[in-house]
Structure 1
């Protein structure tokens, strides 16, 4: 898989670990408990005490994920919550990768919105869209454009994970002031690196997943065994993955020209 999907896979594993730990306490748990099981003590959102008590003391309940290919609406939040399901946004959906429904005391529902990046970097600014990717692009009006959640008025918890960062860093992302009243109700929190999460037992495994990549052009992959159905064809691979391998011909051609000269 490419870096992005590998990061999302690791994100799901982290959340699955949290869901298991929470299930030991009962089927429903407060958002505050969710954060306590998710982050190490020094990695929890710094301004959590100033965030909505209505949100932080309300409940999450999820045991699995469901991938969707549509933009959900308010009714879907209740349906997912009742089914104890967090939902995975479709591939390359703008702004968010995973959402977890939250039930409020009013009977309304809100959301924990998570954006996951996996950029192999030593810079916190390797994401070209940062900090917009953690603020204006991590709001309901951007993530759920076209549905009635676009004008969602309840507070949301918006988490940005840059898992491929080599070190340990966290911050409340800053952005220029905006007229969007919804943004002021949300809590935005950005963490960089894999060291923020309570995954000590599997951190090495998840680190390997983030960085592992098998190239179909490695010598051991170039297998031609018609009896076993293994036929390696570099041209077909490039056609199937033009964004990954589209420049192969051009670079290969330049290499040959250098050899001739």
Structure 2
């Protein structure tokens, strides 16, 4: 199966070494995935207790992510970027020096390089043990907040991480942070157990960790028998089928759907605790400054989150057990956060013809609408840095020459939005006033960002 950053399947192989039932329950079997290093070290250690083996491997993973030291502050910017890149799947600009540094000292993988060897397209393929190390380091007091602040600064400098709106990026941060908090709480309550961050836990408990106390958890009790378990995200380059879902479930990975795919943006894989059948939690993320019309939102909630929109036709039987979440975390609902629940399903009218029911009055719900960043369980400091990240908009074409921009578009197998296309026209035609107006006026920006854009335009002119 072709899964990973830009579809490469590096580090997706796994060993056939068997693990005990206790090791499987605690999630220690993740050492069989990724580089052979982890399984070899696991087998070669003399510790009798699996917990001690796991802790030793986590220290190795942290050391490698931090450039050869357990002190992540020694290589502050690169370590922070590495921690985020191997978990929430951010793309590093091939034109930046950061790309080479991450490959050299922070476990990144080169996917392709320019003939001159000066520009590198890199990524962090799915590797559960690296994600375990990253989440362990992020769990230390104050580290997660510092890393997010550094990520925000790196993004605002431009030319390092991927271009575009930050809604999906922030959603992945929030989803993974709640997952980490869920495992930490379990460790505190069950001192004799020490599960990995990919260990399977209840979906209902996870949603309560993710959202504020106003979350209508009573309408999602039909998920009480389902588990969830993920430590990182995988960017797919194809429409997933059930075998892909099983692969992601085994590796403790969440899914980022193909870029510009209609419908959901993210999927969390769930598994029934007794029946072992899979389901998905489809998530669509919006980061709008103005509220969308109710009709547009209802259509996206009802139809855009269906599994038929995101999975192969062979996964049609997963529709009944799957759930969709529509998240709007932009400034549109900053002062009016709220939850809405709906039930969407097939039915038949009195003539026997198939119809689709979309109701907000049902006792059970399979659609959740989250309006506003305040719906998430965040303290004030985290809320401020996430808000800052949400308002970042980095256009790579603003910080490179025309030839570099064209090279960049060739290396990235994605379709850039109209803002980048307009900027490319402006670079090649200084008289394109419409493009300049589009850049400054048509995007939602703060006054400071508009002034900065004008300064950059004057420099390049």
Q: Pick from 292, 309, 328: which aligns with 1:142?
A: 309
Query: What is the CA distance between 1:57 and its match in structure 2?
Result: 3.1
> In 2, are the aligned partners of 1:96 and 1:138 still within 8 Å (CA)?
yes
1:189 aligns to what SS in structure 2?
strand
Query: What is the CA distance between 1:152 and its match in structure 2?
Result: 2.2
Query: What is the CA distance between 1:23 and its match in structure 2?
Result: 2.2
User: Partners of 1:92 and 1:141 in 2: how far apart?
Assistant: 16
Computing the radius of gyration from Cα coordinates, the structure with the larger value is 2
Query: What is the CA distance between 1:186 and its match in structure 2?
Result: 6.1
Supply the RMSD in Å over aligned alpha carbons: 3.4
Query: What is the CA distance between 1:243 and its match in structure 2?
Result: 1.7
Query: What is the CA distance between 1:94 and its match in structure 2?
Result: 1.4
Q: Pick from 12, 18, 31: which aligns with 2:203?
A: 31
Offset from partner CA, 1:115-138 (integer Å, 9 cap, x none): 1111111x242x873211111111
User: Partners of 2:246 and 2:382 in 1: how far apart?
Assistant: 32
Corresponding position of 1:73? 241
Q: How does 1:35-114 map to 2 (within 5 A)?
A: 35-42=207-214, 44=215, 46=216, 48-51=217-220, 53=222, 55-104=223-272, 105-114=274-283
> In 2, are the aligned partners of 1:52 and 1:155 still within 8 Å (CA)?
no
Corresponding position of 1:131? 298
> In 2, are the aligned partners of 1:159 and 1:188 still within 8 Å (CA)?
yes
C-alpha distance 75-186 of structure 1, shift in aligned 2 (>3 A): farther
Offset from partner CA, 1:95-132 (integer Å, 9 cap, x none): 111111111021111111111111111x242x873211
Q: Pick from 167, 173, 176: which aligns with 1:13?
A: 173
User: Which residues of structure 2 form unaligned runs of 5+?
Assistant: 1-162, 187-194, 348-353, 410-415, 427-431, 438-461
> In 2, are the aligned partners of 1:142 and 1:150 still within 8 Å (CA)?
no
Corresponding position of 1:203? 383
Corresponding position of 1:243? 418
Corresponding position of 2:324? 158
Instruction: Please say if 1:120 is aligned against 2:289.
Output: yes
Offset from partner CA, 1:209-243 (integer Å, 9 cap, x none): 1112356798xx6xxxxxxxxx6459x68x96682
1:170 aligns to what SS in structure 2?
strand
C-alpha distance 183-83 of structure 1, shift in aligned 2 (>3 A): farther
Query: What is the CA distance between 1:251 and its match in structure 2?
Result: 2.4
> In 1, are the aligned partners of 2:324 and 2:368 still within 8 Å (CA)?
yes
User: Which residues of structure 1 form unaligned runs of 5+?
Assistant: 222-230, 255-261
Question: Which aligned segments of 4 or more residues in structure 1 are displaced greater than 4 angstroms?
Answer: 173-178, 180-186, 214-218, 231-234, 239-242
> In 1, are the aligned partners of 2:212 and 2:375 still within 8 Å (CA)?
yes
Corresponding position of 2:115? none
Query: What is the CA distance between 1:202 and its match in structure 2?
Result: 1.3
C-alpha distance 107-129 of structure 1, shift in aligned 2 (>3 A): same
Larger relative helix fraction:
2
- What's the TM-score once normalised by structure 1's chain length? 0.76
Corresponding position of 1:258? none
Offset from partner CA, 1:133-162 (integer Å, 9 cap, x none): 111111112222x43113424411211101
Count of aligned residue pairs for this structure pair: 233
User: Partners of 1:101 and 1:41 in 2: how far apart?
Assistant: 24
User: Partners of 1:211 and 1:141 in 2: how far apart?
Assistant: 32
User: Partners of 1:215 and 1:92 in 2: how far apart?
Assistant: 17
